[in-house]
Amino acid sequence: MRYKAALRSGCKYCGERADIFNCLCQAELDIIDEQRIEVNYKAGELIFKQNTPNLHFLCLTGGKVKLYIEGFDGKNLIIGIVKPVEYILGQGIYVDNKHHYSAMAIEDSTACLVEAGIFKSLIRNNPDFAEAFIRKVSLLSILNFEQVISLTQKQMPGRIADVLIYLNEKIYESNPYTTTLSRQDLADMSGMSKESAIRILKDFKDEGIISVDGNRIEIINEEQLYKISQTG
């Protein structure tokens, strides 16, 4: 992890800031500029750990980060991937001031950190900013509901199909795409063992649904992949 002082004029002119900041006036942006710290993370570096104090609002400006719940017996469940330009602020900030999941960089990443107290002050004083934040939290809740349905009501092929579609449409927005996620990460996203995830990926490849070459994944038969996703 490497810290560096942020340029004071950065927020106003930054092309790598989350849309939520468009709701802030210049004076409010100045407050963030005076306090924010830019941090660089190496791939594989832990950004924050589950059950530790939730002290900062984090806006990811480069790279990608996985969010995961640490379960029993060392088993993790990845609940999402964050890409630029999105922000991370755990719901615990309004409950117990703790992180309820962990975050780790899966690529070399850069983020701006602002003390949580400053963010909460902006929420209290700017209704448009508060509404944008509530909308973001609501969208994340909907995605979590969809993930629960996938994990609890679909067979393993349906879950892997959901992961591949999510990465294609929401994260990389490209077909084919090259991912830095490991096979264990794909398993942790779909709630199964690494061995099961590898087997299903091989089945998809053998059936001509996808092409896999190392970390390069291409969806060849989108119609069939969507059918597997829908039927579970």
Buried b (16+ CB within 10 A) or exposed e, 127-139: eebeebbeebeee
Domains of the chain and CATH, by start = 2-128 (2.60.120.10), 150-231 (1.10.10.10)
**Token pair of 56, please?**
């900062």
Residue 7: per-residue pLDDT? 44
Buried b (16+ CB within 10 A) or exposed e, 53-78: ebebbbbbbbbbbbbbeeeeeeebbb
Mean pLDDT of the chain: 91
Residue 161: per-residue pLDDT? 97
- Residues in the chain where the model's pLDDT stays below 70: 1-17
Q: pLDDT tens digits for 92-150?
A: 888 999 999 999 999 999 999 999 999 999 999 999 999 998 888 888 889 889 999 99
pTM for the structure as a whole? 0.89
Residue 136: per-residue pLDDT? 86
Residue 74: per-residue pLDDT? 82
